[in-house]
Amino acid sequence: MNPRRTRVVIVGAGPAGLLLGQLLHEAGIDNVIVERQSAQYVLGRIRAGVLEQTTVALLEQAGVATRLHAEGHVHDGIGLAFDERLHRIDLRALTGHGVTVYGQTEVTRDLMSARAAAGCVTLYEAAHVSLHDFDGDHPFVRYTHEGSEHELHGDFIAGCDGFHGVSRASVPAHAIRCFERVFPLGWLGVLAHVPPCNPELVYASHERGFALCSQRTPQLSRYYIQVPAGAQLGQWPDTAFWDELRRRLPADVADAVTTGPAVEKSITPLRGFVAEPMRFGRLLLAGDAAHIVPPTGAKGLNLAASDVSYLAAGLCEYFGEHSSAALNAYSSRCLQRVWGALRFSCWLSGLLHRFPEATPFDRRVQSAELDHLVRSRAASTVLAQSYVGLPLEI
């Protein structure tokens, strides 16, 4: 076995790992990505597509925003639907910012293309990945690729391999503390080649449960409905999904829904999860490897991007200025933002969903909160500020 060396070993070729790799490449820092799945599998994962301005700026910094600006759609507001009415929250008027709708799959595709064009190394279908000696000065990753066992040594390991990845699992139990809440419901999502029912996203609260109308392109829409925990896809043929979606929307919005066969259909559980700290010697976790937020509010990809921003800045400072100050502050800076996003996502989830334990009193309070939210400019501003995302402080 001939060990190979790089500056930073990145485990995971999802958006977090690819974005980190591109930012490091732009800064002249050598890195190699190790990914256990194939490139086709990574591209096949359907995720959210609402980007905060800070995320867009990071993609610009990484040199991968050309197609985003050509094909992405800037939304200056969102809709809140309840009591059979649609209310618009004007994000631009309240905060000076909007959000950009551009699918995570497309972000991943752009990052993959840029990495390939730059000649950077990504090792797909790497099996038996294991992390070693990250509590010392010479960490390395061992893996099997194309039938042979390899070792990849670096100064740091970036764990960007998601909730079920090997990075967080490699940390000794006594060194990490995990916080988790699992909600008793999930989101059934359908992707279909149909035009969106509304120019902007619609978040709907209904006595039958939550619904979300979102989009990827003018001819590709993503819809969700709340389902109980344990629901199975077989219980939801396309016709049943579309009928239930329309029941949960105001009549004028429901009438604008165009139905069609599902291109993709999946159920996403709602959970909140945070692992603390996010640094263990020379192993640094980023994105879903360290935290999961409920999808309400579309914070998952944006949080991963902010982690990567802090991590890239810290690594650039370390290699460029021989200072560890930013890396030493990495975990605390990330976690402050993570818990803020989790607070927002849990609050919005509680406001919009129907929970099995809720009493009639609880539902009346929920209705009063929604009414206050759209009547009070101050309350709308608080929602809008969290939705568009707070600025990054590097």
pLDDT, tens digit, 9 for 90 and up, residues 63-115: 999 999 999 999 999 999 999 999 999 999 999 999 999 989 999 999 999 99
Q: Which amino acid is at 147?
A: G
Angle at 205 between CA 199 and CA 208, to 5 degrees: 120
**CA separation for the pair 238, 166 (Å, rounded):** 36
Residue 371: count of CB within 10 angstroms of its CB: 14
Nearest to 157 by CA among 173, 142, 147: 142
Nearest to 266 by CA among 189, 204, 366, 340: 189
Q: Among residues 15, 196, 250, 295, which one is catalytic?
A: 295
**Three-state DSSP state, 174:** helix
Burial of residue 244, with CB atoms counted within 10 A of its CB: 0-12 exposed, 13-18 middle, 19 or more buried:
middle
Q: Which of 15, 102, 139, 203 is catalytic?
A: 203
Q: Which of 35, 40, 38 is nearest to 17 (CA)?
A: 35
The parts of the chain modelled with pLDDT lower than 50 are none
Structure tokens at 305: 């991007």
Q: What is the dihedral of CA 182, 390, 58, 333, to 10 degrees?
A: -70
**CA 271 – CA 382 distance, rounded (Å):** 23
Q: Does the active-site annotation cover 203? A: yes
Active site residue 353: no
**Catalytic-labelled residue, pool 223, 299, 330, 353:** 299
Residue-level pLDDT at 44: 82
Q: Which of 102, 223, 310, 387 is catalytic?
A: 387
Buried b / exposed e over 211-230, threshold 16 CB at 10 Å, is bbbbbbbeebbbbbbbbeee
The pLDDT value recorded for residue 391 is 85
Which one is catalytic: 75, 97, 150, 206?
A: 75
CATH 3.30.9.10 location in the chain: 182-270+357-388
Contact call for residues 231 and 244 (beta carbons, < 8 A): no
Q: Answer yes or no: 295 catalytic.
A: yes
* Whole-number Å distance between alpha carbons of 385 and 115: 33
- Cα Rg for the chain, rounded, in angstroms? 21
- Establish whether 25 is a catalytic residue: no
Question: What was the pLDDT predicted at 196?
Answer: 96
Q: Would you say 7 and 318 are in contact if contact means Cβ atoms under 8 Å apart?
A: no
The segment(s) of the chain belonging to CATH 3.50.50.60 are 4-75+98-180+271-348
Look at residue 388 in the predicted model and tell me its pLDDT: 96
The fold adopted by the segment(s) 182-270+357-388 is: D-Amino Acid Oxidase; Chain A, domain 2 (3.30.9)
Catalytic residue check, 41: no
d(CA 159, CA 10): 6
Q: Per CATH, which fold does 4-75+98-180+271-348 belong to? A: FAD/NAD(P)-binding domain (3.50.50)
Give the pLDDT of residue 261. Answer: 97
Residue 322 makes CB contacts below 8 A (sequence gap 6+) with: none
Q: How far apart are CA 150 and CA 143, in angstroms?
A: 5
